[in-house]
Amino acid sequence: MKNFYNLTKKELLQEKEKLQKQYNNYLKQNLNLDMSRGKPCKQQLDLSNDMLNINDYISNDNIDLRNYGILDGIKEAKQFFGNLLDINEDNIIIGGNSTLNMIYDVIARLYMFGYMDNTPWCNLEKVKFLCPVPGYDRHFDILEKFSFEMINIPIIENGINMDIVEDLCKNDESIKGIICVPLYSNPTGTCYSKETVERLAKMETKAKDFKIFWDNAYAIHYVYEKVELYNIFKACEKYNTQDRILYFFSTSKINFPGGGVSLLAGSDNTIKDTLKHLSKQTIGYDKINQLRTVKFLKNKENTLKFMDKHANILKPKFDIVLNTLEENFSNNPILKWEKPKGGYFVAVDTLEGLAKKVVVMCKELGVTLTDAGSTYPKKQDPKDSNIRIAPSFPSLEELQEAINIFCLCVKIATIDKFLL
Ligand SMILES: Cc1ncc(COP(=O)(O)O)c(C=O)c1O
């Protein structure tokens, strides 16, 4: 493996010629490989097929769940998720099939009606949100839809740069929230440390209605290592800041994406305030699916065992991506990445100004990646370097081919940059 930094111009040109031949060969193959979205593969989906055979509809307390009612979710679901996530069951609302939908609704309600007796955000001149980056494109899309100003907060090894967060929140009343994926973050795999969680709980905020959107989408989705996240409810209790928590979770990537169960958890005040508005939005969510999910997953211990099965399917895929990156770039530092402990992604950084080019080149060879820039608000990666790789969906063979092609494109794009 050659280190491009040590090559002469002539050697770089020779290397490029060799790589270009491989590129042209791939071009002829009309491939169609997709590493763009974090979707479970068929084998993962099949793990939950038995759930479809559960057709009970009477709850433990003898309620016929086929009918209307129970806005905040059935008792067994609250108990199950409360136990799984270590949250008081009275502080949970079980929702529909999507946390993203819940997050959108929460923001819309804060925008239109405000939190308790605070001014609705639509009546403010400016609303700003802190956005840890690289992050999840769909979060940023929601914030953009409401025309909130988004401020990039760098993700660091054990979370986010809290010095910046504390400084901004203390001084600016228009900063109304931060949106975090605290465990196996999308796309960096970052896990927030106890210190990060504590500081978020403790920090002073000029906005009285400041909210932490705690999208714990990958709470139990380990691949290589189980990481324990410090409980934000416990942290906030210490500082009496529970009202800032908006905690989200769903079974999208445990059972069926789009056919799962989501939840929102918050303080007593938040639950009361939310239900006041939610009661005008729906009579109740899909309780039959709530019951089916609980009957299938049973309890925390069984659910964690079930997640081992997902990890066993995902691990060889992550191995392929990480080993191939290692083989290609460990001695040629033109690409950087961190090994995630879990979640659904590997985030890589090319040299500055190359991400868009690499994604376009991959597309030309039939490999679809998430659009470059997507991991930043308004799709603007200031360094044009971050690319999100999603290994879960393709087969092992497809993935190996796709990641080989990706490495090839990174090398060609980098040589072109060096030759400029
Ligand atoms: C961080 C994060 N939040 C939310 C979602 C979507 O969750 P849901 O299916 O519950 O809407 C995803 C899906 O990829 C995600 O990565």
Q: What is the CATH number of the domain that holds 130?
A: 3.40.640.10
Residue with token string 């973050």: 185
Please indicate whether residue 95, judged by its CB atom, sits closer than 6 Å to ligand 1. no
Residue 290 Cα to ligand 1 middle (Å): 18
Please indicate whether residue 216, judged by its CB atom, sits closer than 6 Å to ligand 1. no
128 and 171 in contact (C-beta within 8 Å)?
no
Nearby residues of 117 by Cβ (< 8 Å), 6 or more positions away: none
pLDDT in tens, 143-188: 999 999 999 999 999 999 999 999 999 999 999 999 999 999 999 9
What residue's CA is closest to ligand 1, atom 2? 217
Asked if residue 168 is part of any domain, the answer here is yes
Same-domain pairing of 155 and 260: yes
Same-domain pairing of 230 and 281: yes
Same-domain pairing of 235 and 357: no
Residue numbers of the chain with a pLDDT score lower than 70: none
Same-domain pairing of 219 and 368: no
The pick from 99, 102, 346 for probing ligand 1's pocket by mutation, whose C-beta has the most ligand atoms within 8 angstroms, reads 99
Please indicate whether residue 257, judged by its CB atom, sits closer than 6 Å to ligand 1. yes
Same-domain pairing of 226 and 364: no
Asked if residue 49 is part of any domain, the answer here is no
Same-domain pairing of 389 and 254: no
Asked if residue 50 is part of any domain, the answer here is no
Please indicate whether residue 262, judged by its CB atom, sits closer than 6 Å to ligand 1. yes
Please indicate whether residue 185, judged by its CB atom, sits closer than 6 Å to ligand 1. no
Please indicate whether residue 264, judged by its CB atom, sits closer than 6 Å to ligand 1. no
Same-domain pairing of 204 and 248: yes
Range of the structural domain that residue 30 is part of = 4-44+304-419
Nearby residues of 8 by Cβ (< 8 Å), 6 or more positions away: none
Q: Is 48 helix (H, G, I), strand (E, B) or coil?
A: coil
> What pLDDT score does 37 carry?
85
Please indicate whether residue 215, judged by its CB atom, sits closer than 6 Å to ligand 1. yes
Strand ranges in 108-258 using DSSP code E only, listed in sequence order: 128-133, 149-156, 159-160, 175-180, 211-215, 245-250
What residue's CA is closest to ligand 1, atom 6? 100
> What pLDDT score does 51 carry?
97
284 sits in the region (left: phi over 0; alpha: psi -120 to 50; else beta) called: left
Please indicate whether residue 136, judged by its CB atom, sits closer than 6 Å to ligand 1. yes
According to DSSP, the β-strands at 245-250 and 159-160 are unpaired
Which amino acid belongs to residue 304?
L
End of a domain among 297, 319, 345? 297
Same-domain pairing of 229 and 125: yes
End of a domain among 263, 297, 331? 297
Same-domain pairing of 21 and 169: no
Angle, vertex CA 328, rays to CA 412 and CA 415, nearest 5:
20
Same-domain pairing of 314 and 395: yes
Q: How many domains, the chain? A: 2
pLDDT in tens, 48-79: 999 999 999 999 999 999 999 999 999 999 99
> What pLDDT score does 48 carry?
98
End of a domain among 297, 325, 359? 297
The pick from 215, 262, 286, 293 for probing ligand 1's pocket by mutation, whose C-beta has the most ligand atoms within 8 angstroms, reads 215
